[in-house]
Amino acid sequence: MQSRLRLGLWIAFTSFLTFTGLEVRNYFFKQDQFKFTWVVTQISVELSLLLCFALLRSPLGKKYPGLAFLIFSWSVTLSPQIRGTLSGVLEPSILVWPLMFFGQATLMPVHWRLHLISQLGVFIYCVGTTAALNLQVKMPGSWMTPAVLYLYIFWICFICNLSVYLYERVQRAEFNARQELELAYMELKAEQERSERLLLNVLPESIAIRLKQDHQTIAESFTDVTVLFADIVGFTELSSQISPPELVEFLNQIFSAFDHLAEDHGLEKIKTIGDAYMVVAGLPVPRKDHAHAIANMALDMQQALTQFNARMGQSCRIRIGISSGPVVAGVIGIKKFIYDLWGDTVNMASRMESQGIAGSIQVTRSTYECLKDRYQFEERGIINVKGKGEMTTYFLIAKK
């Protein structure tokens, strides 16, 4: 509104300066057409407009721009009437009033009520001073009667106010539509973020990005990773002793603790199957310390389960198997897809878990060779691994 007011003030001020310049020219070249009183009126209007500029820059004008609007309007429309009042003759202006009212409606369509107040102020002043001071009213032309004048000004004001009112309705409808669009955009963005979080809970971020860009099968080979399988011993017996909701809550607390550990160690959780938990280090972003990260994870899982037992009064134990080597990782299928691993390393980690001992962390020789300098091990000896025959395995005990 303030910017519109400044624009209107500049236009009004410039237009009055041009008329003042015209009267000055008449003074020098056409003195018979020069009107001193008209020059005085124009200068008074220009001074009033300068005061409006100052008001707009003041804290009062910035807080109440409608006040500056009314003063601006009355400065232009009432200054000639005040001069006429002082001379005893009031002359309604059929030139200045319509220009001002139409100019306000086109350049400053702010609030139709403000336009109506500015117009009523002009009529109240003219009618009031005429009645109070018994002034002579001079019609702009011999053909114009008071009834014609009132009807003429009424329709001008009606058209101006109607155009401002319609403009406000359009602006309000546009504002509401923009608000609804922004709200819909925010809701859509929130849904996208929620979907993105859900997708990242299923897939690694780099795989999720590739899957959104390319719907073809994603498969990659990794030469050095470490895979961990963990299983809660005695879970089957426990499931027959407690209710299903309690069982799910029991398992959720344990696996949630494991999820936090996997995140802390920078590992990639692959899946849970029943009471089994699978996690890997070294993919989809390769890392040199993949075996060390999994070893730390395994030791922390044992500690987390011990704390859970103490808090819940349980005696659960965990069996963990670890193997290091190459794997193939990828996403297959088009429904309920997951990021999964294949290869001998995965099979060996699963065998280390299933043929392990409750409460222990059994690792293959490949993992032992990666960790033997920094961790304590106990050699289990030779065992018959299903599908592989006899192998030497080791128990991870602790860090050195």
Q: Are residues 335 and 245 in the same domain?
A: yes
Residue 18 in 3-state DSSP? Answer: helix
125: Cβ–Cβ under 8 A, 6 or more apart, which residues? 78, 81
Q: How far apart are CA 378 and CA 396, in angstroms?
A: 7
Q: Which of 162, 179, 196 is the last residue of a domain?
A: 179
Q: Which of 128, 160, 179 is the last residue of a domain?
A: 179
What confidence score (pLDDT) does residue 217 get? 63
Q: Are residues 74 and 218 in the same domain?
A: no
Q: Are residues 148 and 261 in the same domain?
A: no
In a domain, 41, yes or no: yes
Q: Are residues 240 and 128 in the same domain?
A: no
Q: Are residues 362 and 279 in the same domain?
A: yes
Q: Are residues 293 and 173 in the same domain?
A: no
In a domain, 193, yes or no: no
Q: Are residues 225 and 149 in the same domain?
A: no
In a domain, 60, yes or no: yes
In a domain, 196, yes or no: no
In a domain, 199, yes or no: no
In a domain, 198, yes or no: no
CATH of the domain at 275: 3.30.70.1230
Q: Which domain holds residue 91?
A: 2-179
Query: What residue spans of the chain are helical by DSSP H?
Result: 2-29, 36-57, 59-63, 65-87, 96-107, 112-133, 146-202, 205-213, 235-239, 244-265, 290-312, 344-354, 365-371
Q: Parallel, antiparallel, or unpaired for β 317-331 and 361-363?
A: parallel
Q: Which of 158, 179, 200 is the last residue of a domain?
A: 179
| Domain count across the chain | 2
Q: Are residues 258 and 156 in the same domain?
A: no
In a domain, 347, yes or no: yes
What confidence score (pLDDT) does residue 208 get? 67
In a domain, 306, yes or no: yes
Mean pLDDT per segment of 10 residues, for the chain of length 400 residues? Answer: 81 86 83 78 84 85 83 85 80 85 85 89 88 81 81 90 91 91 88 74 65 67 92 77 80 89 90 88 89 93 89 84 91 72 90 90 92 91 85 90
Q: How many CB atoms lie within 10 A of CB 257?
A: 17
What confidence score (pLDDT) does residue 214 get? 65
Q: Are residues 229 and 295 in the same domain?
A: yes
Q: Are residues 82 and 228 in the same domain?
A: no
Q: Are residues 143 and 247 in the same domain?
A: no
357: Cβ–Cβ under 8 A, 6 or more apart, which residues? 319, 395
29: Cβ–Cβ under 8 A, 6 or more apart, which residues? none
Q: Are residues 100 and 156 in the same domain?
A: yes
